[in-house]
Chains A and B, each alone.
Chain A
Amino acid sequence: ETGVTQSPTHLIKTRGQQVTLRCSSQSGHNTVSWYQQALGQGPQFIFQYYREEENGRGNFPPRFSGLQFPNYSSELNVNALELDDSALYLCASSPGTNQGADTQYFGPGTRLTVL
């Protein structure tokens, strides 16, 4: 069974640029959630996708957007990057069998540095 994978592993961008991060969910999972983890802090929920529809959003501005594809993989897009966007971005997938109460399994993360 393949776990959650993310790409790229590391990324360096400059302020004002745009970035796309990718996530492949665990086999059999149809729900993907994205989290931002600043250095030394716990992860913060960005949004979740369930069967290609956004299914909940945290306290992040609209320049954070996402997509989920028919194979349940997902993208996180961030426009107009700011220095504070530097963080580890984590993707988690869950089976979607009990929406709202499923265990979430995390990928290794993408480390984004904004200069």
Chain B
Amino acid sequence: GDSVTQMEGPVTLSEEAFLTINCTYTATGYPSLFWYVQYPGEGLQLLLKATKADDKGSNKGFEATYRKETTSFHLEKGSVQVSDSAVYFCALLPRNAGNMLTFGGGTRLMVKP
């Protein structure tokens, strides 16, 4: 079945450091890929998405590129802020083969001033 694997956290960075959170997936066909963010005590917010190979999703300084050859969708940000501290979830949605999002286990990011 479909699955998503994320790097284990927590990831602890100083403010203005470069961020990478790795995400790889296993799926039949070419799913849509998503990053969601969850702040403490809240639901999930869509951060960015990509629907086909080589697409780059971007939002609020975060970027991720859909790499079909490596089945990856790594999240990056050039300069993190304390306000970016949250849990980040990578997820996939199958294309024409179902309607359930499959999530990774989440990666907690802690940014220190």
Contacts and interface: CB of A to CB of B under 8 A. Distances in A.
Q: Is B a genuine binding partner of A?
A: yes
Interface of A: 4, 6, 31, 33, 35, 40-45, 48, 50, 55-56, 58, 88, 90, 92, 99-109
B105 A33 contact: no
Contact of B98 (A6, A35, A100, A102): A100
Contacts of A42: 4, 89, 91, 103-106
B102 interface: yes
Given A42-B89, A45-B101, A99-B99, 5 more contacts: A40-B106, A41-B105, A90-B44, A100-B94, A100-B98
A56 B106 contact: no
Contacts, number: 70
A35 B101 contact: yes
A4 B44 CA distance: 11
A41 B99 contact: no
B93 to A, nearest CB: 6
A90 B43 contact: yes
B32 interface: yes
B34 interface: yes
Interface bracket on B: 20 to 34
11 contacts: A33-B99, A42-B104, A43-B103, A44-B103, A58-B100, A88-B43, A100-B93, A101-B93, A106-B43, A106-B44, A108-B42
Contacts of A33: 99-101
A106 B45 contact: yes
B101 A101 contact: no
Contacts of A100: 93-99
A35 to B, nearest CB: 7
Interface string B30-41: 001010100000
Contacts of B102: 45
A99 to B, nearest CB: 7
A85 to B, nearest CB: 18
Nearest to B94: A100
Nearest to A90: B43
Interface string B3-42: 0100000000000000000000000000010101000001
